Amino acid sequence: MKQVNIHEAKTHLSALVEEAAVGEPFVIAKSGRPLVVVHPYVPAAPRRRTGFLKGSASVPDDFDSMGSREIADMFGDAL
């Protein structure tokens, strides 16, 4: 991996960024000590969308009253 000092990086930033963008990462150093690595940006995987299953499931029309007889049998008139 190529190492450049800060002054050289400032002077040739555009060319260095172009190289990094096509897969040639480089290190920026100060007084010979590596400080940062510049590498190409890799976008994150797309986030999952809410509602991606819309239309694939259905709710029965009597959903709100389902099991009401069984609940009444268990609890009587307490409801």
The model's pLDDT over 35-48, given as tens digits with 9 standing for 90+, comes to 999 999 999 998 88
pLDDT score, position 59: 84
Percent of the chain surpassing pLDDT 70: 96
**For the domain bounded by 2-38, which CATH number is listed?**
3.40.1620.10
- What is the model's pLDDT at position 35? 97
Whether residue 78 has pLDDT greater than 70: no
Write the CA distances from 18 to 39, 41, 51, 52, 63, integer angstroms: 10, 12, 39, 38, 60
Tell me what the mean pLDDT of segment 40-66 comes to. Answer: 86
CB distance 27 to 34 below 8 Å: yes
Q: What mean pLDDT, rounded, does the chain reach? A: 90
Domain boundaries, the chain: 2-38
The predicted structure's pLDDT at residue 58: 85
